[in-house]
Amino acid sequence: MTRTVVTGGAGFLGSHLCEQLLADSHEVIALDNFLTGTPANVEHLMEHDGFRLVKTDVTEYIHIPGPVDQVLHFASPASPIDYLLLPIETMKVGSLGTLHALGLAKETYWGHVNPVGPRGVYDEAKRFAEALTMAYRRTHEVDTAIVRIFNSVLASEQVLYDDGTELHRTTAGELGERLGLTSAGAAPLPGWSVPAFDGDSRVAASDATWFVGHPTDQQCYEIRTRYGRRLRVTGDHSLFVRGKDGTPVARTVCELAVGDHVALAAQVDVVERDRPVVDLLDVVAEMDPWAVGIVDPSLSDTVRDHRGDLLAAYLGHRGRALTGRDRQSAWGALTRWEAAGSVPLGALQACALGVPDTAQLRPWTAGRSASLPRFVVLTDELLWFLGLFVAEGSRYERPRKSACIDVSCDVDTLDRAQKILERDLGLHIVRAPASEARAARLVVHSQLLLRLLDHLGFSAGQKRLPGWVLGLPLRRLGHVLEGYREGDGVHSGAKFDEARRHEFSTTSEALKDDLVVAFSRFGLVASVGRYATTMSKTGDRQYPFWRLTLCAVSPWSPLDWHRGVAQTLSAGRTGDLVWATVQYITPVPASPLVYDFVVPGKENFWAGGLWAHNTHGPRMRPNDGRAIPAFASQALTGQPITVAGDGSQTRSIIYVDDLISGILKLLRSDLPGPVNIGNPHETSVLHLAETIKRLTGSDSEIVFIDRPTDDPTVRQPDITLARTELGWEPQVGYEEGLGRTLAWFRSHPEVVR
């Protein structure tokens, strides 16, 4: 089987080429950086055993394991929009990319290019690519493929994703470790999603198909913006800057400047999941079941009815040779179980006996121990308490000795917390009055309460808002934030009375990032600052902390935000994006691996609170600046059809199936090239616009706009060599090909805006 590498394999032409090569029984490795291509173009090929898609850039060396028979180089921005926005990338892929990929020659337009105009980066890169290809063909016999993945965030950067069960906010490196990416590679993400924005700048939970990790030798940078956001990325990573019309435009960090405005996540849409109840059997699943007691009146009958089985389970658990005294002791234990309606969980499990829904669970110890109901209902008020605990709580545990939580704040708030814990969990509360050394507090002694907190993600160590909390329905999330506000936010004084400014404080950087996500769930942008305070009893010692500020928010209470909340910002806004000024761009060391999500159709994702980036036929992008997709999109949506200049400039129009046929004929020939594969019959741009208007039945008006610099006047390839040496010429007629292309646009309305 012929093993073929296609660079730009997820692009418009590359995807059609991969499709035909597979049909011809090739094994195909498609390389693409998704800068202009998209995995959606080859999604239908992913199940094919002979197809592999690798997210790469072909401008640096990386070995493709195993033999490679053919390398087809189709990686290049090819539309006016692309190569004018990406001039450096266009030159690199046309020069270094060709040097490494040893591509075959493509279509050229001799004598009709300006090497120093804006379009020159594209035309001269193509010309250089062909010259270099010929030089390598004459002097080298071994095909190689060069790969470097780019457009990536560093391992320490925050990412937000949903794995199909729960929302997670972790570092990219932590996600890489979870997925086993300890070296360069890609991990599939079935059923995963990330927040991403669409062409209307609206954010939605969007399918993520791959997570990619790889080393880099690029210069990396930390970008700091207004509102206290920070992002660490490779130099070729693209952020989104505000275009002239306010829409987001991708720009690499190397091209970014202080003072530019980049897109910040104002609104984050995720998959919502409620968590109404917790089964304590799930909480104790990792504990020794013989160390957990089950208490319920019905268990007295259970012990009486299954005495023999329970006795055998108890004796078997002892794990040693039994004496008569052991059996006598065991009978005594069962008598006590029956009298108390209390049995070790291990005994019930050994006898395949169920745990009553109404049961209480407690540590199985000789002394007294606090119990919890089997089913803990996460009421709105219990969510409020969890928010308060994150703000003002602490925990202490000494194995087999003591375990407790402690909450310190004002007396009224403690009164409310005590009522919730007593009513919902049945716990005994110990109160301590305020003193000169510390505020009033409540203490709860319960080992199982700590295990419950662990299970819910409120474990010992750095404080966090767990992912399931961040993904709660907005009404329920508001209760958590209200609890946090009453603990460590504005809850008294003039700011509270004015009800206009929120301040949430924390010493935890991770919790600070969680709060940023929580606020953005409501479409609120927090300004984040790093401060320090002192305490009279420790003199000049500095205690650093983070403060998140929300100004001009209405309504003020987090309990009302789910109904709709407005925020006045002194910054521009487009859809769900806010434009934040770049304040610092600082070089930083690279991490061992850098990472990227593949998000088909959108190719952007949340990272650190910012948004981290003329052939015709199916899979063309309607906004890539070329005539056919632009005219088709405008005609199908009833917009004016915009013709540059007077429309007299000509184009050579070829249907994609014909082009792929010509490329493969060249591939199978001995011709060194270059060979032009195109349509020798010209049509004017105005005639093309009129034809598309007629074929679509559109009422759109044809209007004339200024002609871009370096817009070619003539596009007419000489295909004599293709005819005589390859026996190739176009087979699909002009209007037939346009009809097929327009039919695809009609059947994919999501790409026409």
CA distances from 321 to 325, 326, 334 (A): 11, 9, 20
Answer left, alpha or beta for residue 667, where phi above 0 means left and psi between -120 and 50 means alpha.
Answer: alpha
What is the CATH architecture assignment of 378-574?
Roll (3.10)
**Range of lowest pLDDT (20-29, 175-184, 270-279):** 175-184
Domain spans of the chain, in order of start: 1-150, 153-269+580-611, 284-367, 378-574, 614-753
CA distance 232 to 242: 20
Which carries the bigger pLDDT value, residue 202 or residue 375?
A: 375
CA distances from 162 to 344, 468, 604, 611, 680 (A): 37, 10, 15, 17, 51
Bridge partners (DSSP) of residue 651 are 683
**Range of lowest pLDDT (25-39, 126-140, 232-246, 594-608):** 126-140
Residue pLDDT, tens place only, 32-56: 888 888 888 898 898 898 999 888 7
Report percent pLDDT > 70 for the chain: 83
Which carries the bigger pLDDT value, residue 722 or residue 206?
A: 206
pLDDT at position 708: 67
Residue pLDDT, tens place only, 414-463: 999 999 999 999 999 999 998 887 889 999 999 999 999 999 999 887 78
Residue 386 half-sphere exposure, CB side, CA atoms within 13 Å? 29
Q: Which fold has domain 1-150?
A: Rossmann fold (3.40.50)
Burial class (CB in 10 A: 0-12, 13-18, 19+), 354: exposed
* Amino acid found at 8: G
Residue pLDDT, tens place only, 467-487: 999 999 999 999 999 999 998
**Range of lowest pLDDT (99-103, 136-140, 146-150):** 146-150
Report percent pLDDT > 90 for the chain: 39
- Put simply, whether the predicted model's pTM sits higher than 0.75 gets the answer no
Q: Which CATH class is domain 614-753?
A: alpha beta
Please report which confidence band the pLDDT of residue 106 belongs to, taking 50, 70 and 90 as the band edges.
very low
Is residue 332 predicted with pLDDT exceeding 50? yes
Whether the ω angle into residue 712 lies within 30 degrees of 0, i.e. cis, is: no
CA distances from 665 to 30, 104, 722 (A): 20, 12, 9
Among 83, 89, 241, which residue's Cα sits nearest to residue 151? 89
Which carries the bigger pLDDT value, residue 614 or residue 472?
A: 472
Is residue 136 predicted with pLDDT exceeding 60? no
Is residue 129 predicted with pLDDT exceeding 90? no
DSSP state, 15? H
CB atoms within 10 A of CB 135: 12
CA distance 238 to 254: 9
Kindly report the CATH number that applies to the domain delimited by 153-269+580-611.
2.170.16.10
